[in-house]
Structure 1
Amino acid sequence: MPEYLTPGVYVEETSYRSTSIEGVPTSTFGMAGLTRYGPLPYVLPNGTAVPVPPTLVTSYAEFERAFGDLASPSDDGKANYLAHSARAFFANGGRRLYVARVFPWLRDGEGDIDPAQLDAAFARRALAAPGGGGPVALPVWRARWPGSAGRRIKVTVTRRLGRDRIVVDTVGNAPVARLVGVSELAAVVVLPRGTVPGPRDPIDPATVFVARRGPDRVMGFDDGQGGVTPVDPGTSGYQLELDVTVSSADGRSDTYPQLAPHPGHPRSVYRVLRAADPADDLAQVWLQPVPADATAPTPGQLAVALLDAGSQGYLTDGTNGTDGAALAPDDLLGTEPDDDDPTRPGTGLNALAEIDDIALVATPDIVRMDDAGQIKTATDAIIGHCERLRYRMAIVDPPAESSLSEVRAFRSQFDTTYAALYYPWMQITDPTQRPDPGSAPATLMLPPSGFVAGVYARSDVNRGVHKAPANEVVLGLTKFETAVNVGRQAVLNPEGINALRFFPGRSNRVWGARTMSSDPEWRYVNVRRLFIYLEHSIDKATQWAVFEPNNERLWRNIRQSVEDFLLVVWRTGALLGTKPEEAFFVRCDRTTMSQNDLDNGRLICEIGVAPTYPAEFVIFRIGQWTADAQRS
């Protein structure tokens, strides 16, 4: 009981109700694979690690800004399967997608990332000295993410010169100048009094001064030696600000206005466009400062160099921005996070493991691999990922151009309740190709995982996770690669291969809802996902019970919480039974725990639910009947 030592009146709050259980989201999708560019954990040239978690996008427009367009992400010429899958996911009703970008780093013979090759993955361009003049160390514009897309990024810098910020007053018979309307460390172009710079007039670095407040709180100019120079009444001052526009070949354009060239200013170009934790998390470039042992440029030199760099074209001179090595299964699986080093997060599927909300996962880039052994290994990786985490399900793609026999042979290699396989591939009109006049539009074959994940999400939102994600229309395709008819599905369905079929007048539909399991208890996708939903919700909402006194009061609270939750689930139609007693039971008392369990700190709650199975075979029995006939 609480401790009371001082006499007085104490008012305490308490609760007389059980803790409620809230259902977890079931439609959040996660994918790992190649993209054109985008967020990725990496190491700066100075050795500093930049941890970047998987990125959440809620529309294809957000995905495109973060990870680029539909163009191929590698030199192999194959389609951008992950981007197309993201597009299909949102087109079919998906709402939340986490993307873990995979980049196959160049590695040395021992499997470690080769430091000598690491820098080659990033496009860059060094600034030229102002006016082509003497030796001066200048920063470097660098692509923030690795890959060849960095070679097609252009940085344009323009200037802003405001009104004259030097006000001259007469005190007595002497003119006194004040610098007004500028913040400390702002750059100011100082010219003879009355001189107004034209919009195209070049800026002399020697005329750029830094505003600084003196000991008397009066604003002046930094003298470069720790002191403050008073404002000269015979001068005019115009605040210099920079607008940086970053544009890429796929049409993306970002503008960062009113930046300052001084590194200490709150809106410094160094701060707003830095590598780690910039103002814009999806910024495409960053400005790498000069090395610590080099002489940094003055704000005037930096501003002029940035303005002059606009005529240099794209970010790179053509020697940087490689796409790494060939994709391997280990790249998709990624590395596990280092618990002792927060700057080394997980990558690939292991990065998605850190996101608790994800309920569906896929790796469309498995189909990019040509070797059957690699495809098998990569598929095992995503299945193992789901089995280890328990609360998510994988959507598996068959290999490209699989025949009926080939997809059956592929399916026979796996046995799991945490994955489902869909066949065949989808044909779409290729959005990356513009057809010639009079010719048929170009088409493209895509794996089904992105489309099916969108169908899962749409079904979950509209009906609930207990509804089998089947007999649902698939949007965004022209036709299926292979026509699956009744005879072919009679072969596929018993083996746990979900068919995608076209029905005249009813469009293209998902026509299967089976897992890749040989266990009849977990045959159906919706049953597996319903139990994932129940288990995850109860697990997440009952963490409060850990270390509570293990007695009848705690058992009663847990029973009530679970029963209230299951009652709501039953009312949605997810459980079988005309009354709650037929749909579920919850036991947590002396019948489920022995004294040995109590002595060892174990609380055991037994829960039984009766799931609804899909009506996979709808049978109507019809026979002749007359008034004189007896019904048998």
Structure 2
Amino acid sequence: MPVNPTYPGVYLQELPSGARTIAGLPTSVTAFVGRFGRGPQNVPVRIFNQGDFERSFGGLDRDRETTYAVAQFFQNGGGDALIVRVAPGGGASDVILQDDANVTALTATAGQQIGDASVENPGRWGDNLRIDVDHAASDPVTEFNLSVSEVRREAGRSLVLRTETFRNLSMTTTAANYAVPVVNDGSTMIQLTQGASANRPVPTGTQGFGGADPGAAAAGDSEIEMTVTTGTGGVTEPLAIPAADMPATMGQARSLLESLIRAARPTDMMWSQASVQLAGGALRVLLGRTGADYDPEAVVSFADTTGDLGANIGLVGGGVTENVQQYVVGSGSPATAFRGAATPGVDDTGATALALAGSRAARSGIFALEAADVFNILCIPEASRLDGPGAITNLTQVMAAAEPYCEERFAFLLIDPPPDVDTIDDALGWIGDLAAAGLRHRNAAAYFPRLRIADPLDGNRLRSVGPSGAVAGIYARTDGAFGVFRAPAGIVASIRGVGDLDYRLTDPENGLINPEGLNAIRVFDNIGTLVWGARTLEGSNILSPDWRYIPVRRTALNIEASLLRGLQFAVFEPNDERLWAQIRLAATSFMSRLFRQGAFQGASPRDAFFVKCDAETNPQADIDLGIVNVLVGFAPLKPAEFVILSLQLMNLQAET
């Protein structure tokens, strides 16, 4: 800050250097827009590996082409992806949580909080969610605990995939532990909404029985019958209590009851793995949940047959709160009066051009990426499957929206050939149709043929998939190993996990599609499956050569985006030589780093690039309009696409 001298002495003032640093942006963040079995819709979610993908979006799905593209991306070297799920026609599972008087307390819907918004997560996956409510809280009368679990039935057992627990929740809206924001902010599985009742009731616990001091029971043997009623009927077992084991406290009653229930049916896991909890003076019976016969809507009830212990500790008679074991999100058939109605989830009805292209106003489809800071590559694999044989009407609709959006966001688009494009004639016809539709763009590339990969969901039989996911992975792998300026093709661009191709190109056939700007994927003996082309869709021989090659275009995009972001400091600064010098210094430093990495032609920086921002580029007329003109040029590296070997015989002449 400026020094204000008021007394004789030495003052210290720290001055800024004036140097600005421009950091290069990433080059291979890949966005996938398509259908997935689960996940928030029209929200870009960043993932870094296949495990993230499976947890957030369900992994491979044989009915959803994009899931295979994401798997191929990570298998081939990708490490940073944005997933945008479109789910046309899909609906989210929900369930109503009620109090003992059948009044709606809360509605739980499959979804999660993204930023400041509560986003539904459509699909039948939500039907696998279970919610437990109990009152073993700090204040059992006004507070409750809520647990959410996702389960999967596997080999006759319930496998719990993940669980979230929220304790000491309140229904008072002004309380710090108010259930709705606490759960909504913390859960990745459900979102809560408050019921319409003005008194904000507390949801009932799942299976509670009121209790009293068991010591008041009459001496002597006692027998209680416990019945478990499921969707297939009821099972009743007697629980005999000898007089010598008569409990004196509710804690002893809990322990005794648990051991009797487990011993009653040792081969039935609903009984043998049951537990009894004591909360707020009430007993809660939880059945074992791993057995083949477990039913979350099972109801436990008790009856006295001899003695009065059952009635005394609240298992029968007044104070009984009979409810199902768990609230089942998405189950549509209430089992008891205290089990809230639910709506099953609905899977999406299939990809459509409108859903994939989306709307900028609604931030849906590809325009959901407006919420993403940066992405470099865009893949829309299911767009290639929207049309019937020989047609590209819907593909054109999607790509006509994607190409200008990629140009706007400094990104590169990969277009997959449709499944019926499986001969050289089909490929030439398809690339001609793209040209006729006006889809030849410098920010796009296409590859032929489609890949055949082992499908783990179909006994590892080969499945035809578009190459965009694998190619995007190779882009990322090449960028990491060499730089964005290196062509993602050739010997270093082997495709992993490919069993075969839909069509095997020969050299002459490769020579037909390469001049058209369609990149080949080839199989070479003893080498493998390689990407064998590096042209943009504007790379046809009859078009301008400036943006013919993918690495040249992607290098330019990275420079443009990095400088655009890095020069923001200049906005509103005084427009004079001092500002121009700062701009020159920052831009030159950035370009010099790229030169040292080998991004440009030329033996010296002077040969490789220039940065010009001075009085010549900024006449007074532009200064008066508030304009600063910066001119940056570079000599790009272009791939050696054709290697020509000349061989000449050399004749030796006899010495004389």
TM-score bracket, shorter-length normalisation = 0.7 to 0.9
| 1:375 is the counterpart of 2:375 | no
Which residue of the partner structure matches residue 77 of structure 2?
93
Stretches of 4+ aligned residues off by more than 6 angstroms: 5-9, 249-252
Q: How does 1:512-523 map to 2 (within 5 A)?
A: 512-517=533-538, 518-523=543-548
Establish whether residue 273 from structure 1 lines up as the match of residue 292 from structure 2.
Answer: no
From the superposition, tell whether residues 121 and 487 of structure 1 become closer, same or farther in structure 2 (CA, over 3 Å).
same
1:408 equivalenced with 2:428 (yes/no): yes
Q: Whole-Å Cα distance in 1 between the matches of residues 67 and 530 of structure 2?
A: 22
- Superposition RMSD on alpha carbons, in Å? 3.0
Q: Deviations over 1:295-315 (max 9, x none)?
A: 543365578599744356663
Q: Does the 8 Å CA contact 1:160/1:243 hold for their aligned counterparts?
A: no
TM-score, with length taken from structure 2: 0.71
What is the match of residue 361 of structure 1?
378
In 2 relative to 1, CA 538–572 (structure 1 residues): closer, same or farther, beyond 3 Å? Answer: same
Is 1:459 the counterpart of 2:369? The answer is no
Q: 1:447 to 1:538 in 2, by over 3 A?
A: same
- The equivalent of 1:179 in structure 2 is none
* Residue 7 to residue 40, structure 1, CA distance change in 2 (3 Å): farther
Pair 1:125-2:95 in alignment: yes
Structure 2 residue aligned with 1:148: 123
**1:147-172 C-alpha deviation (Å, 9 max, x unpaired):** 332454130527696xxxxxxxxxxx
Change in CA separation of 1:301 and 1:312 when aligned onto 2, cut-off 3 Å: closer
Pair 1:500-2:546 in alignment: no
What secondary structure sits across from 2:457 in the alignment?
coil
8 A contact 2:104–2:197 mirrored in 1 = no
Match status 1:533 vs 2:550: no
What amino acid maps onto 1:423 in structure 2? F
Deviation of 1:99 after TM superposition, in Å, equals 1.1
What is the letter of the counterpart of residue 629 of structure 2? Answer: I
Distance 1:426 1:2, change over 3 A: same
Residues 1:23 and 2:24 are matched in the alignment: yes
- Per-residue deviation, 1:510: 0.6
Give the share of equivalent positions with the same residue, in percent: 29
Offset at residue 578 of structure 1 (A): 1.1
Q: Does structure 2 retain, via aligned residues, the 8 Å contact 1:153–1:314?
A: yes
Contact 1:151 1:316 in 2 (8 A): no
Structure 1 stretch displaced more, 459-468 or 258-267: 258-267
> What does the per-residue CA deviation read over 1:207-233, in whole Å, with 9 as the maximum and x for residues that have no partner?
xx348xxxxxxxxxxxxxxxxxxxxxx
Task: Tell me if structure 1 keeps the 8 A contact 2:5–2:11.
Answer: no
CA distance in 1: counterparts of 2:192 and 2:615, whole angstroms: 66
How far residue 548 of structure 1 moved from its aligned partner, in angstroms, is 1.5
Letter in structure 1 aligned against 2:354: D
Q: Which amino acid aligns with 1:289?
A: Q
Q: Provide the rounded CA distance (Å) in 2 between the counterparts of 1:556 and 1:135.
A: 73
Amino acid at match of 1:507: G
Q: Name the stretch that deviates more: 461-470 or 481-490.
A: 481-490
CA deviation string 1:478-507 (max 9, x = no partner) = 111111121211111000101111111101
Out of 148, 157, 163, the position equivalent to 1:244 is 148
1:68 counterpart (46, 58, 63): 58
Picking from 311, 314, 325, the partner of 1:310 is 325
Aligned residues: 505
Q: Report the CA distance between 1:328 and its aligned residue.
A: 2.5
Q: Secondary structure at the match of 1:187?
A: coil
Which residue number corresponds to residue 75 of structure 1? none
Please state how far the C-alpha of 1:60 moved relative to its aligned partner.
Answer: 1.3
CA distance in 2, matches of 1:252, 1:300: 23
Preserved CA contact (<8 Å) 1:141 1:315:
no
Aligned residue for 1:397? 416
> How big is the shift at 1:611?
0.6
**Matched residues in 2 for 1:99 and 1:153: separation?**
23
Question: After the TM superposition, which residues 592-607 of structure 1 pair with which residues of structure 2 at under 5 Å, given as runs?
Answer: 592-607=617-632
Deviations 1:66-99, CA, capped at 9 Å, x for gaps: 1113225xxxxxx321211111111111111111
Counterpart for residue 347 of structure 1:
364
Alpha-carbon shift at residue 324 of structure 1 (Å): 4.7
Segments of structure 2 that go 5 or more residues without pairing to the other structure are 112-119, 210-283, 287-322, 334-342
Displacement, 1:249?
A: 6.4
Deviation track 1:244-269 (CA, whole Å, cap 9, x = no partner) reads 32225697722123533533576666
**Do the aligned partners of residues 587 and 156 (structure 1) sit closer, same or farther apart at CA in structure 2, a change above 3 Å counting?**
closer
**Closer/same/farther in 2, CA of residues 15 and 310 from structure 1, 3 Å limit:** same
Tell me if structure 2 keeps the 8 A contact 1:261–1:303. Answer: no
Between the aligned partners of 2:75 and 2:383, the Cα distance in structure 1 is 22
Q: Secondary structure at the match of 1:254?
A: strand
CA gap of 1:154–1:354, structure 2 versus 1, over 3 A, is closer
TM-fit CA distance, 1:585: 1.7
* Residue 633 of structure 2 is aligned to residue 616 of structure 1: no
Tell me, in whole angstroms, the C-alpha distance in 2 between the residues paired with 1:148 and 1:563: 52
Question: 1:298-354: per-residue Cα shift (whole Å, max 9, x none)?
Answer: 3655785997443566632286322355532221122225xxxxxxx6222112133
Give the one of 153, 157, 172 matched to 2:132.
157
- Kindly name which structure, 1 or 2, has the bigger radius of gyration based on alpha carbons: 2
- Do 2:519 and 2:534's aligned partners in 1 also have CA atoms closer than 8 Å? yes
Q: Secondary structure at the match of 1:522?
A: coil
Aligned equivalents of 2:561, 2:594: Cα separation in 1 = 14
Over 3 Å counting, the alpha-carbon distance change for 1:88 and 1:410 in structure 2 is: same
Residue type at the aligned position of 1:593: N
Structure 2 vs 1, CA of residues 524 and 507 (structure 1 numbering), >3 Å: closer, same or farther?
same
Cα shift readout 1:171-202 (whole Å, capped 9, x = no counterpart): xxxxxxxxxxxxxx7233xxxxxxxxxxxxxx
Give the direction of change, closer, same or farther, for the CA distance of 1:242–1:15 in structure 2 (3 Å limit): closer
Aligned residue type for 2:82: Y
Deviation digits for residues 415-473 of structure 1 (CA, Å, limit 9, x no counterpart): 2100000111111111112x3xxxxx422111111101000001001100000011101
| Matched position secondary structure for 1:573 | coil
User: 1:321 matched to which residue of 2?
Assistant: 345
Query: Distance in 2 between the 1:16 and 1:147 partners?
Result: 53
Letter of the structure 1 residue corresponding to residue 96 of structure 2: A
The alpha carbon displacement at 1:594 in A equals: 2.1
Where does 1:134-145 land on structure 2 (aligned, <5 Å)?
135-144=102-111, 145=120
Relative to structure 1, the CA distance from residue 125 to residue 552 in structure 2 (aligned partners, 3 Å threshold; closer, same or farther) is closer
**Residue equivalent to 1:36:** 37
CA contact 1:186–1:262 (8 Å) conserved in 2: no
Contact 2:123-2:348 at 8 Å conserved across structures: no
SS of 1:244's equivalent in the other structure is strand
CA contact (8 A) 2:387 2:395 kept: yes
Instruction: Give the aligned partner of residue 175 of structure 1.
Output: none
CA gap of 1:602–1:129, structure 2 versus 1, over 3 A, is closer
Tell me, which stretches of 5 or more residues in structure 1 are unaligned? 42-52, 73-78, 106-119, 162-184, 189-208, 212-239, 338-344, 436-440
Tell me, in whole angstroms, the C-alpha distance in 1 between the residues paired with 2:574 and 2:98: 70
User: For 2:608 and 2:449, how far apart are their aligned partners in 1?
Assistant: 37
Kindly indicate whether the alpha-carbon contact (under 8 Å) linking 1:210 and 1:299 is maintained by their aligned counterparts in 2.
no
8 Å contact kept, 1:29–1:360: yes
Residue 431 of structure 1 corresponds to which residue in structure 2?
456
Q: TM-score, normalised by structure 1?
A: 0.73
In 1, Cα distance between equivalents of 2:606 and 2:653: 43
Of 149, 170, 182, which aligns to 1:262?
170
Deviation at 1:370, TM superposition (A): 2.0
Q: Which amino acid aligns with 1:247?
A: V
Matches within 5 A, 1:95-110: 95-105=79-89
Change in Cα spacing, 1:556 to 1:296, as seen in structure 2 (3 Å) is closer
Q: Letter of the aligned partner of 2:191 in structure 1?
A: W
Cα 1:317/1:490, change in 2 over 3 Å: same
- Say which SS state the counterpart of residue 503 (structure 2) adopts: coil
1:233 corresponds to? none
